[in-house]
Structure 1
Amino acid sequence: MTGLFPLNISLEEYELLSSCQKSPLVQHQNILIPVIYSIIVALGVIGNGLVVFVLCKSSSRKTVANTYILNLALSDLLFLLSLPFWAVYYSFDYDWIFGRLMCKLCGGLLTFNLYASIFFITCMSMDRYMAIVHPLKSQRCRNLCRARIVSFLVWFIAGLTTVPTIMFRDTHEFGNVTACVMHFHSPGWFVGLGLMKNTLGFLLPFVIITSCYCIIGKHLLMAPGLDKSTSNLDRVLKMVGAVVLAFFFCWFPFHTLTFLDVLVSLRFLEACNLEQTISLGIPFTICLGFSNSAINPFLYCFVGNHFREQLGGLTQACASNLSQKRGSFSTRLSSFSRKLSDLKDLAPIENGTV
């Protein structure tokens, strides 16, 4: 039995889907999804790893914006550690082979990142809004201490959101398959957590992010004395648009299907075809949402001139240090060779005096 256990399917959903299923589900997920996950892991680890490396090594890392970027990268890296387990899960036809503890831990990391990543992106948007639109006021409220406190609160709140997942996610036997699924004790938990994802994990952050960047764009366009034709302004506005669109397109499909899933569970919508579409579509919309962890470094760091300069400077510094070490080694080797040569020259004289 394959194709029945997406990452967030519940035991009750599985039983309902099985009762109305008229045709077998498609079988390509066990190949395609692991490939997609592998690409996300490769790009995400490289991108976020470079971000962490640059911000930890750079002398100018201690800024409010860099604090949020560093925490976002760490959150994405932590989440990406769980993706190989889910890739194996799909490739083994939804058979969880890693045990009950890892089922809960990996499920918790998925939920944790869903909230932490979006919260940090929201914090960065609000920080940019304050820095650009209210530069004088931001000098009083934007400081490292507050940024670290906010970052701690984000980690704490995201951690709290994982508690229900750790409680309800577990391994269950379905014939010869051990699935890692959510088993809610009452329908109200499924509805409540689904609506919390939609509201707290997407709708509210999207409204805040969109509002911040729309005001930023309007402020830049209407700023007195600013040349509206400058390439720098054009680049900033394009980046603003890219941030909002990337967030929307990565997460909107997943939250749309999650909301439809809630309506089906409440019997506001009843159709076997719709239930099958949701079950088949959610794994791929999850892939799209996960891709945001690989896209984030390119949106927030690599497109920025300052970050590229820092990366280039660190690269040159590493190359210079390596060159100095090689030069130092060559110098010591040359000195050692000269000493050997001197000893050889002295050897006949010493032999002659004995």
Structure 2
Amino acid sequence: MSVTARMAFVNGSGYQLIEDCDATHKALYKFYAAVMIVIFILALPLNASVLHLFIFKLKFWKSNTNNVFLFNLVLADILLLFCLPIKAHNFINGERRSSDEVVCKAMLFMLFLNRGASIAFLTVTSIDRYFNVVHPGRKNLLRALKKSPQISILIWLLLLPLTIPTMHKNFECCNSHKTGPKEDTLIKEVVDSMREVVFFTQILIPFIILVYCTVHIVNRLRKKTVGDKTKLKRAVFLVMSVMVVFSFCFLPCTIARMVLLIVRVQELSESHQDKAAVAFDGLMVLSYMDCLLDPLVYCFCSTKFKALYLSNYFPFLVKDGQVPIDSSTGNTVQPTHNTVI
């Protein structure tokens, strides 16, 4: 169905707009698909190799560091990556979303759950770094809980209720705030609103937390006049890198979503709605870059992890004669390959 042929007669009472799943800019959506395929090809082996290290080398479940959180972050990113080939297939076929209701809802479920988990573990790790730097001597609940994998399980379980709006039957091609049958209007509006609340809160609240942590860690660095500043500078670099990645990946699609909702609620022309939808879909593709950037920012910001990674996968980049620092217990290891050049 084309853009100009989206009027459907409903129950003999009048006409209403029903948005179908067809992409009106097929060449552009094929470009979106190509970008997602590139992200998938680059990010899958990177995340898989990091996951392998966490399980078989670091034995993250025995560690008292952030390894448990980082393992779950990488796991969430890998699960999110498996959605990309399906979305790319839809885009190549000229569909914004799958026309199959089961596939459409399953994709929304996976995207909501795993992107939410990725953001949650990203935020929790930043909060932990904030307490370690700004309040190093203070006991906090997060420091006690991170020693147990149960906190990670709890985060996953808390995210599950947020996926409930994606399972509701009343939505057209996975789109919110579109006109529907009169008897379903109230229910549909409530469900659509819940879905949008989940979308915005899982991005905006963590972003506010990241800004707060970054500002306080930077202030802590400025006030520190004595002692070794190396660890503090690393913490500043880490949280600022996370904020940059977060801003680059998630804020643009959040703004685009706001614009799209405003255009729909104000019932502007279909041309405006279509342009807003195309822009939103493109910026959502940009948000999947998070799966590629997370390991680079959070795992490779650690010189210990970087040394271990290179000694296992790229031994030709390391120099003999020194010992890399890292193992399942956080102590030094004794392999034949050593520290990073």
Pairwise TM-score range, normalised by the shorter structure? 0.7 to 0.9
Q: Give the Cα separation in 2 of the matches to 1:203 and 1:60.
A: 33
CA change 1:76–1:168 in 2 (3 A) is: farther
The one-letter amino acid of 1:219's match is R
5+ long unaligned stretches in structure 1: 5-13, 19-23, 173-178, 318-354
Summarize the alignment of residues 17-96 of structure 1 with structure 2, pairs less than 5 Å apart: 25-59=24-58, 61=60, 62-94=63-95
The one-letter amino acid of 2:275's match is T
| 8 Å CA contact 1:33, 1:87 repeated in 2 | yes
Q: Give the Cα separation in 1 of the matches to 2:168 and 2:193.
A: 16
The one-letter amino acid of 1:245's match is V
Residue 187 (structure 1) aligns with: 189
Residue 215 (structure 1) aligns with: 216
5+ long unaligned stretches in structure 2: 5-15, 316-341
Identical positions, percent: 22
Residue 17 (structure 2) aligns with: 15
Q: Give the Cα separation in 2 of the matches to 1:123 and 1:38.
A: 29
CA change 1:82–1:17 in 2 (3 A) is: closer
Q: Give the Cα separation in 2 of the matches to 1:284 and 1:168.
A: 26
| 8 Å CA contact 1:103, 1:169 repeated in 2 | no
Residue 243 (structure 1) aligns with: 242
Summarize the alignment of residues 160-171 of structure 1 with structure 2, pairs less than 5 Å apart: 160-168=161-169
Q: Give the Cα separation in 2 of the matches to 1:245 and 1:237.
A: 12
Q: Give the Cα separation in 1 of the matches to 2:111 and 2:262.
A: 23
| 8 Å CA contact 1:64, 1:142 repeated in 2 | no
Q: Give the Cα separation in 2 of the matches to 1:92 and 1:294.
A: 25
| 8 Å CA contact 2:264, 2:273 repeated in 1 | no
The one-letter amino acid of 1:305's match is T
Q: Deviation of residue 206 (structure 1)?
A: 0.5
Q: Deviation of residue 235 (structure 1)?
A: 5.3
Which region of structure 1 is more displaced relative to structure 2, 64-73 or 28-37? 28-37
CA change 1:144–1:48 in 2 (3 A) is: farther
Q: Give the Cα separation in 1 of the matches to 2:282 and 2:115.
A: 15
Q: Deviation of residue 208 (structure 1)?
A: 0.5
Q: Which has the higher contact order (CA 8 A, sep 6+)?
A: 1
Post-superposition Cα deviations, 1:156-211, rounded to whole Å, max 9, x if no partner, equal 122221222122488x7xxxxxx66678852232233213311x211111010111
2:298 pairs with one of 292, 296, 300: 300
CA change 1:95–1:134 in 2 (3 A) is: closer
Post-superposition Cα deviations, 1:291-329, rounded to whole Å, max 9, x if no partner, equal 111110001012321111222344589xxxxxxxxxxxx
The one-letter amino acid of 2:196's match is G
| 8 Å CA contact 1:68, 1:147 repeated in 2 | no
CA change 1:50–1:25 in 2 (3 A) is: same
CA change 1:147–1:129 in 2 (3 A) is: farther
Q: Deviation of residue 218 (structure 1)?
A: 1.4
The one-letter amino acid of 1:312's match is L
The one-letter amino acid of 2:155's match is V
Q: Deviation of residue 265 (structure 1)?
A: 3.7
Aligned length, in residue pairs: 292
CA change 1:277–1:96 in 2 (3 A) is: closer
Post-superposition Cα deviations, 1:210-237, rounded to whole Å, max 9, x if no partner, equal 1112111211221231466x6x765553
State the secondary structure of the residue aligned to 1:260: helix
Q: Deviation of residue 275 (structure 1)?
A: 1.8
Rg larger in structure:
1
Summarize the alignment of residues 1-354 of structure 1 with structure 2, pairs less than 5 Å apart: 1=1, 15=17, 25-59=24-58, 61=60, 62-94=63-95, 99-138=100-139, 142-143=143-144, 148-168=149-169, 185=184, 186-198=188-200, 200-226=201-227, 236-267=235-266, 270-315=268-313
CA change 1:245–1:140 in 2 (3 A) is: closer
The one-letter amino acid of 2:95's match is Y
CA change 1:215–1:118 in 2 (3 A) is: same
State the secondary structure of the residue aligned to 1:28: helix
Which region of structure 1 is more displaced relative to structure 2, 50-59 or 236-245? 236-245
CA change 1:305–1:124 in 2 (3 A) is: same
Q: CA RMSD in A?
A: 3.2
| 8 Å CA contact 1:118, 1:201 repeated in 2 | yes
Given the two structures, how large is their TM-score scaled by the length of structure 2?
0.74
Whose helix proportion is higher, 1 or 2? 1
Q: Deviation of residue 66 (structure 1)?
A: 1.0
CA change 1:48–1:144 in 2 (3 A) is: farther
Q: Give the Cα separation in 1 of the matches to 2:76 and 2:289.
A: 14
State the secondary structure of the residue aligned to 2:197: helix
| 8 Å CA contact 1:3, 1:94 repeated in 2 | no
